[in-house]
């Protein structure tokens, strides 16, 4: 009897030890973002660099690259430029984001957003996503440019108020069950910002959440095991007068409830931040999500090697890779492949760090 009890006890312990690995024991994602075929053309192979994933822009995805990546044993994640409206606006001016003056919002530096409520654009992006998923069996889709028209990848962000087109104000009025007074866009915008600002900000966040939900449903209906990731602006809630929520329309907790992976864009050089900020933000995001959410949603930061503005030296690159790999991150990627090819010392840094289970 005693022998049987000991056997059952040992069996229980063994079963616990051999059950599915905990999240911390899963393969740590080590990737490169952009057009990683640049590395292949330069004579490198992904597996020899210690990579186990590539994050390729949808415009750079092709059959040859996909097959090569799979042969080399790396996962293929595809960036999807969700609310980048530059090309679509050429033939659909009615999708242009409108500011509080009733004017077309000018480009925010190199970026040109779009009105997220434009039904034609939503279907346009949905069909593009379906085409990718019909052609390629991907490991995941990462939604990019998930924000209202603005520019945050600079030390001095550009934060216009949008969108006050009739379509947006009409949808907002229906949502709050209130008729928006005013005969012109400036008058209506003035009323909204002065009398229903908190409701307006909440509604705008909801619009983006719906985009993430809809793109996620398309992904999962075609490829249920593929991950849905979201690249997002890495600001703290109080930065720039709470612009993450108020202007960009982002709520990290809400995104985490809808995505499998959050990829904060920790471009320290572009934003004039110290390398330590990268690790601090990862820690903050993990604490914000909490352990229960982290058991469902992963954090894979994207860090900067790209030499713009200025130069990111190899040792600086090493430091942001280490900072971005700190717990609770379970993966990391760097931007960009071109910066690696231009500086073999950065290649060596990445290869050395990626030779380990977790870069450190």
Domain boundaries, the chain: 25-74+264-278+299-360, 82-259
pTM of full prediction above 0.95: no
Mean pLDDT of the chain: 93
Phi and psi at 18, nearest 5°, equal -105, 10
Output the CATH code of domain 82-259. 3.20.20.80
Residue-wise pLDDT tens digits, 149-195: 999 998 899 999 999 999 999 999 999 999 999 999 999 999 999 99
Phi and psi at 108, nearest 5°, equal -95, 90
Residue-wise pLDDT tens digits, 79-110: 999 999 999 999 999 999 999 999 999 999 99
Q: Are 305 and 341 in contact (CB under 8 A)?
A: no
Residue-wise pLDDT tens digits, 15-62: 333 333 444 458 999 999 999 999 999 999 999 999 999 999 999 999
> From the CB of residue 238, how many other CB atoms can be counted at a distance below 10 Å?
10
């Amino acid at each position: 009897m005693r022998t049987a009890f000991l056997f059952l006890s040992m069996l229980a312990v063994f079963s616990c030890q051999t059950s599915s690995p905990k999240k911390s024991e899963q393969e740590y994602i080590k990737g490169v973002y952009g057009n990683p075929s640049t590395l292949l053309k330069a004579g490198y192979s992904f597996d020899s660099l210690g990579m186990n994933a590539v994050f390729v822009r949808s415009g750079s995805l092709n059959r040859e690259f996909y097959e090569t990546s799979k042969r080399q044993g790396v996962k293929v994640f595809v960036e999807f430029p969700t609310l980048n409206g530059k090309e679509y606006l050429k033939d659909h001016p009615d999708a242009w984001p409108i500011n509080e003056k009733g004017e077309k919002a000018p480009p925010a530096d190199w970026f040109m957003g779009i009105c997220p409520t434009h039904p034609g654009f939503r279907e346009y992006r949905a069909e593009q996503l379906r085409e990718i998923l019909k052609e390629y069996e991907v490991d995941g889709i990462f939604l990019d440019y998930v924000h209202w028209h603005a520019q945050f990848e600079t030390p001095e962000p550009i934060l216009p108020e949008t969108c006050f087109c009739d379509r947006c104000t009409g949808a907002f009025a229906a949502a709050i069950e209130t008729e928006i007074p005013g005969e012109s866009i400036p008058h209506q915008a003035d009323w909204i910002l002065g009398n229903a600002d908190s409701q307006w900000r909440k509604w705008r966040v909801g619009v983006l959440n719906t985009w993430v939900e809809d793109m996620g449903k398309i992904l999962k209906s075609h490829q249920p095991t593929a991950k849905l990731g979201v690249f997002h602006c890495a600001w703290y809630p109080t930065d720039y007068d709470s612009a993450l929520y108020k202007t960009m329309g982002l709520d990290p907790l809400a995104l985490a409830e809808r995505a499998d992976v959050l990829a904060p864009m920790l471009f320290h050089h572009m934003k004039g931040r110290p390398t330590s900020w990268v690790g601090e933000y990862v820690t903050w995001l993990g604490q914000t999500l909490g352990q229960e959410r982290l058991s469902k949603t992963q954090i894979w930061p994207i860090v900067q090697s790209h030499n713009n503005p200025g130069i990111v030296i190899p040792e600086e690159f090493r430091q942001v890779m280490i900072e971005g790999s700190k717990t609770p991150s379970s993966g990391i990627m760097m931007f960009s492949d071109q910066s690696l090819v231009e500086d073999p010392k950065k290649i060596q840094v990445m290869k050395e760090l990626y030779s380990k289970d977790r870069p450190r």
